Each structure stands twice: as C-alpha cells, then as structure tokens.
Amino acid sequence: MRPKLIAAVMCLTLVGCAGQQVISAPTERRVQAEASLRAAEGAGASRVPEAAQHLEYARQQIADAERLLVEGEQEAAELRFMQAEADADLALALARSVPLEREARTATQQAESARRSLQ
C-alpha cells in the first residue's frame, strides 16, 4: 500500500511541476508593470495632471528596465519594473480619486451655499 501511495504522490508532483508555466522574474514583472500602465491609461490618468506625472514616471521606468535587461542587469531591471508598476498603480488611484474629490468639493460648496440661502 505504501509504495503505491508514494508512487501516486510522485506522479502528481511531476504532473504539477510539468503544468507550471516558467516565467523569469523580470519578464513577469514587465507584464505586471505594463498591465498596470494600461489600466491607468484606460482610467484616463493622462487627463488628470496629478496622475499623468506618475504615468510618465512609469513609462520611463519601463523603458529604463528594458535597457537594463539588454545590458544583462536582471536584478536592476526587475526593480525598475516594480517601480513602474507602483507608479502606474498610483496613477490609476489618482485618476479615480482626484475627480471624485473635486466633485465632492463642488457638492460641499453647493450644499453650503444652499444652507446659507435658507438662513
């Protein structure tokens, strides 16, 4: 019984390992950074000045990381891709929050104005 169990576990392990997709860390980071960049662009980050700046940082960091990959600097490239992803995520958050903040401020001013006119 025990040898069959060990054989079954080994087979499942081999099948699991064979099914795993192997992606190098810099390539995976590149994909994540570019996906974050596209999400921020899709949310209109380029139209929100606060977000547009971080969007540009992300683009520049992706370009720098690609250059570092060509130069064989894998670890430095991976860090740049991580920075690019963080900046793109920040651009996305700003693209969503800044317009809402402006709307809230306008609504607050209108409510305050209406309150004053009722007094």
Where are the domains positioned within the chain? Answer: 22-118
What was the pLDDT predicted at 21? 45
What was the pLDDT predicted at 16? 52
Structure tokens at 106: 């306008």
What was the pLDDT predicted at 12? 53
What CATH number was assigned to the domain covering residues 22-118? 1.20.1270
What was the pLDDT predicted at 53? 96
Give the Cα separation of 88 and 18 in Å (integer).
34
One pLDDT digit (tens) per residue for the chain, 119 residues: 555 545 554 555 555 554 444 446 678 999 999 999 999 999 999 999 989 999 999 999 999 999 999 999 999 999 999 999 999 999 999 999 877 777 788 888 888 888 888 88
CA pseudo-torsion sign 73, 78, 82, 88: positive
What was the pLDDT predicted at 34? 95
Secondary structure letter of residue 48 according to DSSP: S
What's the pTM?
0.68
